[in-house]
């Protein structure tokens, strides 16, 4: 650990607090924040030499089965109430604008196929992405712009965000429900398993693109 | 007979209820009422419609009969046409493609043919339907999860110790992109206003042509009626020509003039209608 | 307790959950609440027959010595960071303010056209860029000074920073969608809000210059 080295190199420095104390500190920091906090962010608040990962592990165990749980959100952590107690908080429910069917489908396609281009979303849904769908998802901070695809035209890709993971209670995009089954069934590919080239069947503009789709999956994670 | 689901003809929204005892309606009005509007807006495109139709087969999507599905879809489109319903172009494109696929599936395979076989095309369609269906189910599962703010809650009173004040400037990606778009398209979005000086209105043209037509017993080129001083500047010439032509159409409708043109793009000529 | 009476009076009612479950419930309710809550208020959320006072007592004991404490605030209860850990929370005071329109536009121009000189920004915005706007963006560490342009006067150029990319969730400034893409994805309103204009009025001049623009972007970097 670089922190240990630093601590060793600097005899003036205080030794890090005991793990139980580190755990208390991480608990206090995460309790105070409504947003998930990254391990690096947490470490920056702690005295030098602390082992955030270990403290988090201990803390998570401590809250196992409690009314409040320590949840992992991508590379970040947050306390959230246990899902089975949601009925007690009915008064705090934030009335969210109901997403249209087009928006939920688009969101699912981005989550399961990410990084995905607009043309690929349209190919899967069989209709053009309507105005307002993508910007609604971006505004909710559930979707962001990923790397451009390295294919002709260099189209923009879309990926899901940490806020998305937090909202849907997912530790990472790999934990999407049914992801493994969908992949095994070949349904995250651009063409049926075993099919030779059926070029440009319903694809008019970016044939080459979709082949890259499956390979790219979650690459930038 | 194939059952056609969801084809629900509804009368055009603004057609008044037919009240008994009133004078018979003019034909045009009656015909307008007969035009039916079909609620295909419930479908999100041909693929969605196909998926819905495929459900009537009550089999696993993997075992779907594409031939039967093509029949169902074509029947749907036929029905829509019989009811004089206008379907969006992409529905018709899909119909044409399915008719083609159907013929290929029924005919013995042509050994000379290049590209994917009919079976491959059918398999691809079945795959697309299955994939769309899978994404739809994934969306439903996603939405049914324990969601933040609905089933799981964040700390209701995040603690802020007001000692070190720090301002975080907020700006989202959408704000940024919209700001840029606003700047780059500012000119496009300028309210449409034109310089009236360079516009010759149809009323002006009507007045002018009415006044001059009395002298045009013989075929006279339309260009001769353009007001003076409007020929040089292209923008003014276009406006004057358009207005004058529209005015002559109006006068022809009133029976005051006749219009003739020898061929496509040939000069347009007009004359006073012989009494 | 009035609840006990009610429960007793109504033999149809379910028995209250075990105390450990009541404790979980109170924990979740207090965690999610924005305000301290009184016992009566808490009881109103719980199933009939719960003993709020006892659940609170048990919960308080559980948090004894932790980083977070169950604190009594007048007649009400709330979770609070342990007093000795207050020093960890000092940095968390952030006041968020929206970036001004001038700053947003300037930032957008720098992101899309970097490296860009001040004169170029002014040409695109059509107004002078105030010193304060650029200073603010530099202070936020969203913009920094790039290389000097090799043109007469050798003006300084401005570019966006890593911090900018981080904040806006971008992998690189090249991933920002171009105008044609913004429009195609429905991210660009075809008319300013509130202004009545025929839809698709400007659709046809879509392709040409905006496509070229996206291509040109960043080429001179």
Per-residue pLDDT of chain A (221 residues; tens, 9 = 90+): 444 444 444 555 678 899 999 999 999 999 988 889 999 989 988 888 899 999 999 999 999 999 999 999 998 999 999 999 988 887 767 777 788 888 999 999 999 999 999 999 999 998 888 778 888 899 888 999 999 998 888 899 999 999 999 999 999 999 999 999 999 888 898 877 665 443 344 444 443 444 344 444 443 43
Q: How far is residue A163 CA from its own chain's centroid?
A: 7
Question: What are the start-end ranges of the E strands in C74-204?
Answer: 76-81, 94-98, 116-117, 143-148, 156-160
The helix/strand/coil state of A45 is helix
Q: Choose among B166, B173, A141: nearest CA to C96.
A: B166
Q: In what order do the strands lie in the sheet with C116-117?
A: C116-117, C156-160, C143-148
pLDDT tens for C43-57 read 999 998 899 999 999
Q: What is the mean pLDDT of chain C?
A: 77
Residue C143 and residue C175 in contact, taking contact as beta carbons nearer than 8 Å? no
Q: Mutating which of A14, A17, A23, A31 best tests the C interface, going by the most C Cβ atoms within 10 A?
A: A31
Which residues numbered 149-208 in C keep a CB inside 8 Å of some CB on B?
168-170, 176-177, 179, 182-183, 187-189, 191-192, 195, 197, 201-202, 205
Minimal Cβ distance to B183: which of C105, C201, C205: C105
The CA distance from C55 to the nearest CA of chain B, in Å, is 20
> Which residues of chain C does A45 touch, with a Cβ-Cβ cutoff of 8 Å?
88, 91
Minimal Cβ distance to C28: which of A23, A85, A161: A85
User: What's the confidence (pLDDT) of residue C168?
Assistant: 82
The helix (H) or strand (E) run that includes residue C3 is helix C2-9
Minimal Cβ distance to A135: which of C82, C171, C187: C187
Q: What is the pLDDT along chain B (275 residues), one digit of tens a residue?
A: 333 344 444 333 443 344 444 444 555 554 544 444 444 556 788 888 898 888 887 777 777 888 889 998 998 888 887 777 777 788 888 889 999 998 888 888 777 777 788 888 888 898 999 999 999 999 999 888 888 888 888 888 776 544 444 556 677 777 888 888 877 776 654 444 455 677 888 888 888 888 887 776 788 888 888 888 888 888 888 888 889 998 989 888 888 888 888 888 888 888 888 76
Minimal Cβ distance to C85: which of A24, A33, A132: A24
Residue in chain A lying closest to C21 (CA):
A67
Q: Which residues contact C143 (CB under 8 A, 6 or more apart)?
A: C107, C110, C134, C137, C158, C159, C160, C161, C164
Residue in chain C lying closest to A91 (CA):
C45
Beta strands B36-38 and A68-73: pairing type? Answer: unpaired
> Which residues of chain A does C32 touch, with a Cβ-Cβ cutoff of 8 Å?
81, 89, 92
Count how many Cα atoms sit within 13 Å of the Cα of residue C33 in the half-sphere of its side chain.
Answer: 19
> Which residues of chain A does B175 touch, with a Cβ-Cβ cutoff of 8 Å?
none
Count how many Cα atoms sit within 13 Å of the Cα of residue A7 in the half-sphere of its side chain.
Answer: 13
User: What's the confidence (pLDDT) of residue B266?
Assistant: 84
Residue A168 and residue B140 in contact, taking contact as beta carbons nearer than 8 Å? no
> Which residues of chain A does B116 touch, with a Cβ-Cβ cutoff of 8 Å?
196-199, 201
If interface means Cβ-Cβ distance under 8 Å, which residues of chain C face chain A?
23-29, 31-34, 45-46, 65-68, 79, 81-82, 85, 88-89, 91-92, 169-172, 174-177, 181, 184-187, 189-190
Residue A185 main-chain phi, psi, to 5 deg: -80, 0
User: What's the confidence (pLDDT) of residue A167?
Assistant: 92
Q: Do A88 and C175 touch (CB under 8 A)?
A: no
Whole-model pTM over 0.90: no
If interface means Cβ-Cβ distance under 8 Å, which residues of chain A face chain C?
23-29, 31-33, 45-46, 65-68, 79, 81-82, 85, 88-89, 91-92, 118, 129-135, 138, 144-148, 155-156, 161, 220
Q: Which residues contact A85 (CB under 8 A, 6 or more apart)?
A: A67, C24, C25, C28, C29
> Which residues of chain C does B162 touch, with a Cβ-Cβ cutoff of 8 Å?
93
Whole-angstrom distance, CA of residue C138 vs CA of residue C140 = 5
- Report the pLDDT averaged over residues C103-118: 90
Least confident of A81-90, B191-200, C115-124, C199-208: C199-208
Minimal Cβ distance to B170: which of C97, C111, C188: C97
The CA distance from C197 to the nearest CA of chain A, in Å, is 17
The CA distance from B187 to the nearest CA of chain C, in Å, is 11
Whole-angstrom distance, CA of residue C96 vs CA of residue C74 = 31
> Which residues of chain A does C61 touch, with a Cβ-Cβ cutoff of 8 Å?
none
User: What's the confidence (pLDDT) of residue A3?
Assistant: 46
Residue C200 scores a pLDDT above 60: no
Whole-angstrom distance, CA of residue B16 vs CA of residue B101 = 43
């Amino acid at each position: 650990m670089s922190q240990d080295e630093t601590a060793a190199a600097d005899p003036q420095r205080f030794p890090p607090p005991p793990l139980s104390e580190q755990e208390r500190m991480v608990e206090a920091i995460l309790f105070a924040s409504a947003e998930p906090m990254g391990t690096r962010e947490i470490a920056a608040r702690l005295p030098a030499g602390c082992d955030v990962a270990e403290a988090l592990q201990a803390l998570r165990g401590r809250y196992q089965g409690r009314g409040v749980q320590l949840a992992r959100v991508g590379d970040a952590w947050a306390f959230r109430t246990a899902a089975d107690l949601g009925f007690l908080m009915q008064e705090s429910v934030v009335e969210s604008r109901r997403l249209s069917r087009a928006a939920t489908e688009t969101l699912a396609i981005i989550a399961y196929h990410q990084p995905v281009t607009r043309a690929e979303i349209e190919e899967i849904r069989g209709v053009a992405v309507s105005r307002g769908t993508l910007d609604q998802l971006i505004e909710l901070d559930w979707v962001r712009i990923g790397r451009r695809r390295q294919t002709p035209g260099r189209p923009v890709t879309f990926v899901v965000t940490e806020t998305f993971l937090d909202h849907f209670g997912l530790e990472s995009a790999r934990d999407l429900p049914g992801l493994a089954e969908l992949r095994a069934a070949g349904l995250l590919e651009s063409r049926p398993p075993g099919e030779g080239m059926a070029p440009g069947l319903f694809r008019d503009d970016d044939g080459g693109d979709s082949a890259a789709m499956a390979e790219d999956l979650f690459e930038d994670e | 007979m194939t059952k056609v689901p969801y084809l629900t003809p509804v009368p055009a929204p603004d057609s008044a209820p037919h009240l008994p005892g009133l004078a018979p309606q003019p034909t045009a009005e009656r015909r307008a009422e007969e035009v039916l509007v079909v609620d295909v807006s419930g479908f999100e495109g041909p693929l969605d419609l196909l998926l819905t139709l495929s459900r009537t087969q009550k089999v696993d999507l993997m075992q779907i009969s594409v031939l039967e599905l093509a029949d169902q879809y074509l029947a749907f489109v036929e029905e829509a046409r019989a009811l004089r319903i206008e379907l969006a172009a992409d529905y018709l494109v899909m119909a044409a493609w399915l008719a083609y696929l159907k013929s290929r599936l029924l005919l013995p395979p042509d050994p000379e043919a290049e590209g994917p076989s009919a079976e491959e095309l059918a398999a691809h369609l079945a795959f697309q339907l299955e994939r769309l269906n899978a994404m739809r189910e994934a969306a439903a599962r996603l939405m049914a999860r324990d969601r933040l703010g609905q089933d799981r809650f964040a700390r209701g009173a995040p603690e802020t110790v007001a000692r070190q004040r720090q301002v975080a400037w907020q700006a989202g990606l959408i704000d940024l992109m919209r700001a840029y778009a606003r700047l780059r398209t500012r000119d496009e979005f300028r309210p449409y206003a034109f310089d009236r000086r360079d516009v010759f209105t149809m009323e002006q043209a009507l007045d002018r042509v009415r006044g001059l037509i009395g002298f045009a017993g013989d075929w006279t080129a339309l260009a001769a009626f353009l007001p003076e001083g409007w020929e040089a500047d292209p923008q003014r010439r276009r406006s004057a020509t358009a207005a004058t032509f529209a005015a002559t159409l109006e006068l022809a409708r009133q029976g005051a003039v006749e219009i003739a043109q020898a061929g496509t793009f040939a000069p347009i000529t007009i004359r006073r209608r012989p009494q």
